[in-house]
Amino acid sequence: MTEIWEMTASRIAADVRAKRLSAVQVTEAHLDRLAKVNPAINAVVQEFPEEALDAARQIDAAIAKGEDPGPLCGVPVTIKVNVDQKGHATTNGLRLQEALVATEDSPVVSNVRKAGGIIVGRTNTPAFSLRWFTKNDLHGQTLNPRNREITPGGSSGGAAAAVAAGICAIGHGTDIAGSVRYPAYACGLHGLRPTPGRIPASNSSGPDRFIGAQLMAVSGPIARSMPDLEIAFAAMSAPDPRDPWYVPAAQGGADFPRRAALALAPDGMEVTGDVRAALLDGADRLRDAGWTVEEVDCPPMRRAAGINACLWMAETQFGAAEMLAREGEADSQFVFARMSEDAGQVGFRSLMEALQARAGILRQWQLFLSDFPVVLCPVSGELPFDQQLDVSSKAAFARVFEAQLTQRAIPAIGVPALSIATGDANGRPVGVQLVGPRYREDILLAAGGDIEARGRPILVANPEWS
């Protein structure tokens, strides 16, 4: 018998809407699961069970009156601690922000509630949401429920660990350099990075971010099935006037050619045999579904990653360097130093040149994606890394940084991307990444569904270590 906490979000929403389950039953089951497994993995770092149950009772009351609560009807969701949720601290993994309690919900949280989602907890992130690993001095380290020896990813590692362990059906994450896509990959899940402007963003607890984050940072869902990503994306992307970058684009678009480009090693990045095998398997699955797949070189990734570094480090060097020093968290300081070395000291001229170069790269990618509406490429050049590998030495950081080339490049290009779990290799999850045209997440979800349908369903992990 399937436990309630093993169900997909789509099934939960259907069962609650049809009164086969109550939202309270579903919420209680997930809160019980949280109490059982979260002590082992430390994915959820802020809990509020009575608040969650009260929200569930409101969903049940709405259904009793004949109302439809929305696409996330009774679905348990977690929210990352770097976005505002009324009454809770927006810590971003920082001791400095432990008492920064939000007075209103961010747009994405408002949209989850309006869609009938039940927020069952808030999830961990590395300090400053700066790493592909999840550990900080305030909340501690998050472990991967599929394998405690490897990273759960970052910066949305808590979100992915919670979804993988059955604490929630949908995890909210944010992504400026892979922070949705990589945790999904590391925890054997699916994760969608939408087009910038798709999901409205605003944190009233702090000042607006600088231009790099305004252009590249997004929220996105992590889930165990492609239909779950679809309903979560639809819910999260409802309009909100607080975000001046919001684009009211349609959820779907015109018909598209079922044609995909296979980029096994974009810009010459090193790719392990296991990653290459996963890409070839993904290509075979697309072909089996009727897609034409051609192995071709894609437009620049490495220059795009350099632009990402310039824009991101301009923001961090200008706006967060003093906070990094005051927080005094050794791991984030090490990573910031390495990233600053890579980007160099960003000044007015380098920032302007990066913005200028970005326009040309976007043009190349838009032209390429008009011929190939899907690009199949690595999520990472390696299988998920050992815990804390990035801060173990300068050489190890350089290895991690290079393996994450596509994670860093795609946000600068301004297009959506989808990380899809396809199985495991040598005891670690593995998957592939799809890239598509702006505002055409529907193409990625369609192709992702074809890949998912030709693999095994994603199961909930049981972290049974002591």
What are the φ/ψ torsions at residue 408 (nearest 5 degrees)?
A: -80, -30
Sequence-ordered list of residues with C-beta below 8 angstroms from that of 329, at least 6 positions apart, any chain: 94, 127, 136, 137
Question: 377: which strand partners?
Answer: 433
Which class for 40: exposed (0-12), middle (13-18), buried (19 or more C-beta within 10 A)? middle
Q: Is 36 a catalytic residue?
A: no
Nearest Cα to Cα of residue 60 among 123, 17, 103? 17
CA–chain centroid gap for 66, Å, is: 34
Full strand arrangement of the beta sheet holding 76-80: 44-46, 118-123, 76-80, 170-175, 218-223, 190-193, 417-425, 428-435, 374-377, 259-262, 292-295
Q: Is 466 a catalytic residue?
A: no
Length of the chain: 466
- Which one of the listed residues 106, 110, 155, 156 is annotated catalytic? 155
Token pair listed for 116 = 């009938």
Nearest Cα to Cα of residue 428 among 389, 392, 398, 402? 389
At residue 429, the 3 state secondary structure works out as: strand
Half-sphere exposure of 27 (CA within 13 A, CB side): 27
- Which one of the listed residues 80, 202, 225, 419 is annotated catalytic? 80
- Per DSSP, the chain holds a count of helices (H) and strands (E) of 16, 13
What are the φ/ψ torsions at residue 136 (nearest 5 degrees)?
A: -155, 170
- Which one of the listed residues 110, 156, 179, 225 is annotated catalytic? 179
First to last CA, the chain: 26
Sequence-ordered list of residues with C-beta below 8 angstroms from that of 334, at least 6 positions apart, any chain: 391, 397
Distance CA 151, CA 160 (A): 11
At residue 10, the 3 state secondary structure works out as: helix
Q: Is 155 a catalytic residue?
A: yes
Q: Provide the annotated active-site residues.
A: 80, 155, 179
